[in-house]
Structure 1
Amino acid sequence: MTLAHRFIILLLLAMDLSAQGHDVQKRQSPIDFQDLLQFLQDQLRQLAIGVPLDISFSALNYICSTIVDLGIVQSKIVPDMSKMSFQLHTDECHNVSVPLTRAEDLWQTPGFQQDRPMVIFITGWTTNINNSNSGPMAKAYQCRNDTNFVILDASNFIDTLYTWSALNTEAIGAYVAKALVKLNRHYITTRLHVIGHSLGAQIAGSTGRNYKALTGGEILTRITGLDPANPCFYDGNNLLGVRSGDARFVDIIHTNPGILGTPRRQADADFFVQGLAPFKSGCAEAPITCSHNRAVDYFVETVYPSNANDFLGKRCTHYADLLDGRNCRDAAIMGFAANYGKLGMFYVDANGSEPYGKQASLSNYTYTNTSCGVCTRDINYI
């Protein structure tokens, strides 16, 4: 049986399960039903290389959403707040861990500058603080030397089977919000920027929603989603995904739409780099993962002070205009310096290699391998 045939069968099974809903438990033995669900989940370990993308990823998303919608398959690795922490990267290149259960200690932690704003970066699926794209992000903010850079360490609960990790995003976000409530409320609602990549973007959205609920309506200033994860989200199920309203300003950079990243407009400002094309320039060798990670690369470029205006998006009135951007007008900055008043969906051009931004000035461009900032040690990973 070919991979294409197997995915079509899986899709039909998922559709049948969705139609039957919870009644399926009454007509099948628990063993048969659980075996089927386990079979479906096992398929999510593969990205079906060799299957046409419009078949494989549609099936992948449908299967994952069906499992979530049935509501009877829960993560076998349940989030535990006591096993999550904030990792503060100091000017001296030290990493200080502050447990979420004692988040109030962050305020007095040596190296935390109370007069600086704070960024919390949340990595994606199968990552941890020692193996992720957090290093380039930390280095860029180190170059600025004006921000408290913090990484969420929740790897125990997102470095597992995709469905379990996706199911955990809401709970992880709720724990992060619970931790933030322990910090100065004015600071959190005016000087905090939460950035997440892939599943990390979905955790960021959950953080904003839960913080608002816990504080009776207080809202975070900004959440940035870097190619928010697509499978399991935005398909009418219980996993909402990051979206407008999770913060005063929510912006999303889309780089792998319809595959690993969502193709939907969900934010106050949605930037579609090279439009709706799922693969980015310069990603020929590993088109899927490279394109998915490009959202981080693009944002990192804009964090360096001289590169803030490297990407300009053109506002599109109709979703179809994102195909080529020819009918899009009225430019807006994408990335670190995005204007909170520029709302809508935008088409953004990009280069295949650094500098990625079409508007970058080579005369004063800061490359990501530069040495700058108080901390001069080369940072590959936190």
Structure 2
Amino acid sequence: MKKFLIFCVSFLLAKECSCLLDTLGSLGIGKNGTSPLEKFNPKDLAGATKDAVIGIGKQIPDSIPSPETIFSFGKNMLAGLPVEVAFDVINQACSATLSQKQVKPKYLPELASMNFQLRTCRGNFFIPMNSPVSLLTHPAFDTSKDTAILVTGWFSNVNSTMENDALETVWEAYKCRGDINFVAMDTGAYVDSLYTWSAFNTDEIGRLIAEGLVEMLKAYPKEKIHLIGHSLGAHIVGAIGRYYSDLTSELLPRITGLDPASPCFNEGENLNMLARGDAVFVDVIHSNSGVLGKKDPVGDVDFYPNGVAPLPPGCLTITCAHARAWEFFAETVYPGNGNAFLATKCNSITAYNSNKCPGKRIPMGIDCPNNAKGNFFLRTNRSRPFGLHSLKESEIVCSRCEHTTTA
């Protein structure tokens, strides 16, 4: 294949050079004449052509797509892109409806019906969100540790029994890590109804939670808080950050968005979405770009595993692709796995695959540096472990359970 491509390129270049020389000759260029280009030397062109052919020959191995790349492209052309087009139509229809203020949620959020769910290796404990200080005084909450707060997406709340649900998967990783308080937001039925109602509720839920955090963070350093949201949950944590800033004139330290929901959320329209500026540092992982998840960059740093495509390797459905974001993040939480996904700042996955992005690699996920800026690309495996640099399951050592309370 390489020799064939070099031959084709050489033939085409030689033909173009021959035609150019004939043309130059007919104009008297390169001969003893009065042309301003009389210093032109055809041998120089021949030498440059030779150098170009050699350079192209060296570049061709990087330019030939691998069988996996060809399969991924074909899969996205046949399955992913038609779905992307369909969801773009849905998104436009949703935007038009919202702009006319025709959508009103059936259930308006009430703080009294929402809870913090503190998870420990000894059990799960519900603390009313309208009594946030009770979370800090709970015997299972360790005020010396940092706190990760997770908000999941549509039809995926704390009562979900779905296998491999986002909450369960992320919690298992934090439980193994053992050095962080893990809190899930129980948003009740407010993101469990008709999608447009749920989307409409994200801003109000964020406002209510932010009010609770203001009280909680009077007795707990805000620098210890890390907000994480998947899908609709990503927009909820964005709203939390914005309202917290409005209420305190301060920013929370970090928000991580896991494939922020795309339908109905567009910049400059009625529904506010997660955006850079909602926290000191906003990092985003995209896994179902242009369908269920946002395609455009929205954070300080945006990661595009396997490129800006609807379906990553190993997925044939959009729900599988949408879930990859939290699966990727959870994998990085396990002890020793912070560098499981190393990404490079780049313009596209094609440039990344061709080794045309020589910048420093940074970790995607929990250990992402908070000074990272721009769009980063990387490759992943088709199945667990997804990270190219992940530890094997047998190599991961989980911490011992330190909680003794049975409250």
- CA shift, 1:223, in A, is 0.3
TM normalised by structure 1 equals 0.79
* CA separation of 1:58 and 1:156: change in aligned 2, threshold 3 A: same
- Among 96, 99, 113, the alignment partner of 2:125 is 96
CA offsets 1:165-198 (integer angstroms, 9 cap, x no match): 0000000000110000111347342000000000
- CA shift, 1:103, in A, is 1.0
CA offsets 1:288-319 (integer angstroms, 9 cap, x no match): 00000000100000000121100011102x4x
CA offsets 1:223-250 (integer angstroms, 9 cap, x no match): 0000000001124312121111111110
- Among 341, 360, 366, the alignment partner of 2:390 is 360
Q: How does 1:1-382 map to 2 (within 5 A)?
A: 52-92=82-122, 94-131=123-160, 132-185=165-218, 187-215=220-248, 217-284=249-316, 287-316=317-346, 318=347, 321-323=348-350, 325=352, 326=354, 327-330=356-359, 331-362=361-392, 365-366=395-396, 373-374=400-401
What's the RMSD between the two structures over aligned residues? 2.1
Q: Equivalents in 1 of 2:148, 2:245: separation in Å?
A: 18
Contact 1:121 1:195 in 2 (8 A): yes
* CA separation of 1:342 and 1:357: change in aligned 2, threshold 3 A: same
Identity among equivalent pairs (%)? 40
1:111 corresponds to which letter in structure 2?
A
- CA shift, 1:201, in A, is 0.5
Q: Equivalents in 1 of 2:230, 2:402: separation in Å?
A: 25
Contact 2:150 2:185 in 1 (8 A): yes
How many residue pairs match? The answer is: 318
In structure 2, the partner of 1:14 is none
Contact 1:121 1:152 in 2 (8 A): yes
Question: Which stretch has the larger CA shift, 253-262 or 124-133?
Answer: 124-133
Q: Equivalents in 2 of 1:50, 1:355: separation in Å?
A: 23
- CA shift, 1:281, in A, is 1.1
Contact 1:189 1:218 in 2 (8 A): no
* CA separation of 1:81 and 1:273: change in aligned 2, threshold 3 A: same
* CA separation of 1:324 and 1:187: change in aligned 2, threshold 3 A: farther
Is there any run of 5+ residues in structure 1 with no aligned partner, and where?
1-48, 377-382
Q: Equivalents in 1 of 2:279, 2:392: separation in Å?
A: 35
SS of the counterpart of 1:187?
coil
Q: Equivalents in 2 of 1:104, 1:57: separation in Å?
A: 42
Q: Equivalents in 1 of 2:250, 2:218: separation in Å?
A: 8
Q: Equivalents in 1 of 2:182, 2:80: separation in Å?
A: 40
Q: Equivalents in 1 of 2:385, 2:126: separation in Å?
A: 33
SS of the counterpart of 2:131?
helix
1:305 corresponds to which letter in structure 2?
P
Contact 2:239 2:274 in 1 (8 A): yes
SS of the counterpart of 2:220?
helix
Q: Equivalents in 2 of 1:365, 1:344: separation in Å?
A: 33
Contact 2:80 2:311 in 1 (8 A): no
In structure 1, the partner of 2:40 is none
Is there any run of 5+ residues in structure 2 with no aligned partner, and where?
1-78
Q: Equivalents in 1 of 2:211, 2:262: separation in Å?
A: 26
- CA shift, 1:90, in A, is 2.2
Q: Equivalents in 2 of 1:130, 1:355: separation in Å?
A: 27
